[in-house]
Structure 1
Amino acid sequence: MYKVFVNDKPLFLTNQISKETDFQLFLLDSIDVEQLIVKMFQNKIKKACLYHPDESLIMKTLKAKIAVNKAGGGLVYNKNREVLFIFRNGKWDLPKGGSQKGELIEDAATREVEEETGVNGLKIIEKLQKTYHVFKRNGKYKLKITHWFEMETDFEGTPIGQIEEGIEKVAWLNPEQIKEALKNSYENIKLLFEEEND
């Protein structure tokens, strides 16, 4: 099963139908994905399931119906085991950004963290999960697939937010501060911390 966020509302891609649910269920093969997304952005649909019988084809089927934007991001720890957060558009987020043509996703992730925060000396420790969300740019809806990596750094300078990306603040947050920040963050960012705590 995949969880895609549309305006922070869940859209589940599944090959199972559960009877008791408050989700609206649609058939992935026949749904007009754009219309569904518009309704979710307008708050007419709060949560939905897209059903497809073959789990191995679910994401491929969705990608055929909506443009895809591939991104890389970092869950970055410093020597004190604090996590690097950025503050933009009124919410706490993790640094991430789109990959360039021909660029390895790992390289895109470290480049984006560096560009958005000024933090360097990054070392990838492990690949984390991918997150999925839909956004609108130039009047078109796109599915952003972000590949996340756990990273470490012994960077000791002051992180600086990339102004042209609208980053107002960059901060190293300890576990208590992270709990607070996640109350004002995105659902797909919260997923990464659920995974961390498992």
Structure 2
Amino acid sequence: MKVLMKKIIAAGGLVTNKKGELLMIFRRGKWDLPKGKLDEGETIAECALREVGEETGVWQLQLGPLLGITYHEYFDTYIQQDVIKESHWYLMQTTGDETLVPQTEEDIEQIMWADDNQINECLHNTYKNITEIISLYKSK
């Protein structure tokens, strides 16, 4: 018998700056991209913009197209059950030079603008779904 897992919808961004660098965060021992859970009443695109702003302090964002959707399973300690997270990833650009502010309540320890070499280095210590979406980003 197959048990259906609870699905969590999330959204985030692959944010680039004027130099073409990619915004990356370091959380819980891994390099990641800013994303988070959809709040009631908001669109997925609104969620992506809000989560990038909350997690990084970058609010001056231009929303681009949806790049792709990734899926991963994990144990949600808040609801005490296995879930599948469906993350919607948007291309975004920032127009400003805002100070990067890690959202420490979300265990974000570090944020950086990564060039191609740094992105490749980060991919050695990240999650499979992040590698997948960054590969898709790099192929565009």
TM-score (norm 1): 0.67
In the alignment, the residues of structure 2 paired with residue 118 and residue 154 of structure 1 have an alpha-carbon distance, to the nearest angstrom, of: 13
Q: 1:168 maps to which residue?
A: 109
C-alpha RMSD over aligned residues: 1.0
Aligned-residue identity in percent:
42
Which blocks of at least 5 consecutive residues in structure 1 are unaligned? 1-29, 34-64
In the alignment, the residues of structure 2 paired with residue 197 and residue 104 of structure 1 have an alpha-carbon distance, to the nearest angstrom, of: 26
Asked if residue 105 in structure 1 is aligned to residue 44 in structure 2, the reply is yes
DSSP 3-state at the match of 1:150: strand
If asked which structure has higher relative contact order (CA below 8 Å, sep 6+), I would say 2
Asked if residue 82 in structure 1 is aligned to residue 21 in structure 2, the reply is yes
Which blocks of at least 5 consecutive residues in structure 2 are unaligned? none
- The amino acid that maps onto 1:191 is E
Following superposition, the deviation at residue 114 of structure 1 comes to 0.1
Q: 1:195 maps to which residue?
A: 136
Residues 28 and 107 of structure 2 are in contact (CA less than 8 Å); yes or no, is this contact kept in structure 1? yes
Bigger-Rg structure (1/2): 1
DSSP 3-state at the match of 2:59: coil
Q: 1:8 maps to which residue?
A: none
Following superposition, the deviation at residue 151 of structure 1 comes to 0.2
Q: 1:149 maps to which residue?
A: 90
DSSP 3-state at the match of 2:125: coil
- The amino acid that maps onto 1:108 is C
Asked if residue 184 in structure 1 is aligned to residue 119 in structure 2, the reply is no
In the alignment, the residues of structure 2 paired with residue 115 and residue 156 of structure 1 have an alpha-carbon distance, to the nearest angstrom, of: 16
In the alignment, the residues of structure 2 paired with residue 197 and residue 178 of structure 1 have an alpha-carbon distance, to the nearest angstrom, of: 10
120-129 or 80-89, which deviates more: 120-129
Asked if residue 140 in structure 1 is aligned to residue 81 in structure 2, the reply is yes
